[in-house]
């Protein structure tokens, strides 16, 4: 399938308003208005207000479809939403929507995106490749041993006496990153032992450390329990934190 970046750029530059379809918090399909796309380092981003149902919906179910009417053509972009709080990305997106308060904004792009153009005669599909320098987060093999090891690490954290609070907040942010990944693979995965001992005073503080940890971890794949033990070891987490 051909790379559709040039085609997408041409279409996105013409349209400041789009629609996005997602599965809502009630698990029903919902459609929301969406602003223009901004290209940063070869990747197309959209802004999302963190106080909206759209943000909540995409946080739980990342599958999304963006629709644009381009003359006689219907343009559809499908993929999985990946959020970014990169200040440079958000500032670039805000150039096209200066009326929005940056404090409440988060950006997202569509991973594994496909652009499809449909008219009366035919449909043409393209892939939208993501730049190599975009952090898309961790991936975890759906393996019972990995799930059990992560559950054990979380239980050990819940029983631990904390002395270095700053380090522990960063470490807990990393645990939350892995825990949310596990929840997507196993919806019944229990995060309550961790939730009950978190040191964060506010949800914003929790989000801050979780985002810091996600950025520091970058793009990793956990294929075996040894990977999990390495990335969540005190030595590795302290190294990530210091960098």
Question: What tens digit of pLDDT does each residue of 133-189 get?
Answer: 777 778 899 999 999 999 999 999 999 999 999 999 999 999 999 999 999 899 899
pLDDT at residue 141, rounded to an integer? 93
The reply to whether 105 and 192 lie within a common domain is: no
Residues, the chain, total? 243
216 plus 116 within the same structural domain: no
Is 133 inside a domain boundary?
no
Q: Where are the alpha helices (DSSP H) in 20-103?
A: 53-60, 87-94
Give me the residues of the chain with pLDDT under 50, please: none
Beta strands (DSSP E) in 119-237 are 123-128, 139-140, 221-222
At CA 209, angle to CA 184 and CA 207, rounded to 5?
Answer: 60
Decide if 33 is inside a domain: yes
Tell me, yes or no, whether 157 and 65 share the same domain.
Answer: no
Of the candidates 128, 160, 181, which is a domain's last residue? Answer: 128
Whether residue 155 is found in the same domain as residue 91: no
Same domain, 59 and 157: no
Domain end (from 128, 150, 180): 128
Domain boundary (128, 160, 193) is at: 128
Kindly state whether residues 159 and 234 are assigned to the same domain.
yes
Q: What is the CATH number of the domain that holds 70?
A: 2.30.110.10
134 inside domain? no
Domain span at 68: 5-128
Distances (CA, A) of 95 to 37, 42, 175, 215, 230: 11, 17, 34, 24, 41
Residues 70 and 16 in one domain: yes
Same domain assignment for residues 89 and 163: no
Residues 121, 165 share a domain: no
Query: In 10 A of CB 93, how many CB atoms?
Result: 26
Are residue 120 and residue 19 in the same domain, yes or no?
yes
221: in domain:
yes
CA distance 111 to 132: 12
Tokens of 150: 């992560």
How many structural domains is the chain composed of? Answer: 2
Question: Rounded CA gap, 175 and 210, in Å?
Answer: 8
Q: Residues 218, 119: one domain? A: no
């Amino acid at each position: 399938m051909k790379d559709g970046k040039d085609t997408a750029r041409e279409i996105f530059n013409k349209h400041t308003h789009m629609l996005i379809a997602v599965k809502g918090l009630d698990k029903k399909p919902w459609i929301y208005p969406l602003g223009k796309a901004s290209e940063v380092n070869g990747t197309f981003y959209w802004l999302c207000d963190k106080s909206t149902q759209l943000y909540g919906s995409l946080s739980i179910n990342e599958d999304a479809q963006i629709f644009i009417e381009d003359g006689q053509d219907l343009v559809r972009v499908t993929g999985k939403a990946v959020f970014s709080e990169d200040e440079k990305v958000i500032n670039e997106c805000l150039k096209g929507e200066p009326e929005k308060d940056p404090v409440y904004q988060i950006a997202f792009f569509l991973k594994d995106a496909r652009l499809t153009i449909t008219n009366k005669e035919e449909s043409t599909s393209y892939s939208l490749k993501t730049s190599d320098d975009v952090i898309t987060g961790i991936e975890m093999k759906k393996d019972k041993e990995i799930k059990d090891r992560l559950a054990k690490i979380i239980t050990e954290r819940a029983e631990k006496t904390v002395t270095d609070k700053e380090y522990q907040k960063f470490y807990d942010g990393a645990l939350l990153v892995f825990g949310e990944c596990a929840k997507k693979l196993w919806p019944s995965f229990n995060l309550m032992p961790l939730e009950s001992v978190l040191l964060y005073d506010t949800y914003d503080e929790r989000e801050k450390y979780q985002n810091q940890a996600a950025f520091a971890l970058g793009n990793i794949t956990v294929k075996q329990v040894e990977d999990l033990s390495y990335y969540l070891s005190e030595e590795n987490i302290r190294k990530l934190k210091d960098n």
